[in-house]
Amino acid sequence: MRFRDQSNYLAEATCKHISEKVGGASFAKRVFEYDSNHSNQIQLWGGYRISILDMGSKIRLDLDSNEGGVENLVEALKEKAHIPKKYQGVLKDVNVSKVNGLSLEAEVVKVNNSQGRVQNRDKLFMALYHSAIQPVISAVHESL
């Protein structure tokens, strides 16, 4: 089975989704603005960044900050990151890890098709957004 790396799509879809949620408004300092030069990264407030890495059976969000100190978000992320019932057919687990910085790993449900997982990338995005991306955004916003 061969999956298509959706890292860039997931980052771009996140930026578009956030823009739509705030009525098309833009943020200062290029926050939530898609940058094709760093296509799998999303700039958040306070110097925080998310990098999305699609590894097929898992999708990892790496969180880092220009000022460091992402460890203060671990407990908030453990509390917030979970898979809503609606998306349990797409993702089966979300784990927070402090190895080499701070990461969230979402394990993808295996499906018997050519990619080995859900092929609808919009469905994959919405599952990841509600299970992992939104909790990161929320935890970062609350920490500022």
The answer to the question of residue 11 being in a domain is yes
The answer to the question of residue 52 being in a domain is yes
Taking residues 25-39, report their average pLDDT: 84
pLDDT value at residue 30: 81
Domain that holds residue 37: 7-143
The answer to the question of residue 1 being in a domain is no
Higher pLDDT, 14 or 68: 14
Higher pLDDT, 24 or 47: 47
> What are the DSSP calls for 37-52, one per residue?
GGTTEEE-GGGEEEEE
The answer to the question of residue 2 being in a domain is no
The answer to the question of residue 102 being in a domain is yes
The answer to the question of residue 85 being in a domain is yes
The answer to the question of residue 87 being in a domain is yes
The confidence band for 28, taking pLDDT boundaries of 50, 70 and 90, is confident
What's the pLDDT tens digit per position in 101-138?
899 999 999 988 888 898 889 999 999 999 999 999 99
Is 14's pLDDT higher than 60?
yes
The answer to the question of residue 129 being in a domain is yes
| Overall pTM surpassing 0.85 (yes/no) | yes
Query: What type of residue is 46?
Result: G
What's the pLDDT tens digit per position in 56-112?
999 999 999 988 778 899 999 999 999 999 999 999 999 999 877 899 999 999 988
How many structural domains are present in the chain?
1
Is 1's pLDDT higher than 70?
no
CA-CA distances (angstroms) from residue 87 to 49, 82, 143? Answer: 25, 10, 27
Strand order through the sheet with 91-97 = 41-43, 48-54, 58-65, 102-108, 91-97
Residue with tokens 């771009």: 12
CA distance 80 to 40: 23
Which residues lie below 8 Å from residue 138, measured CB to CB, with a gap of 6+? 76, 80
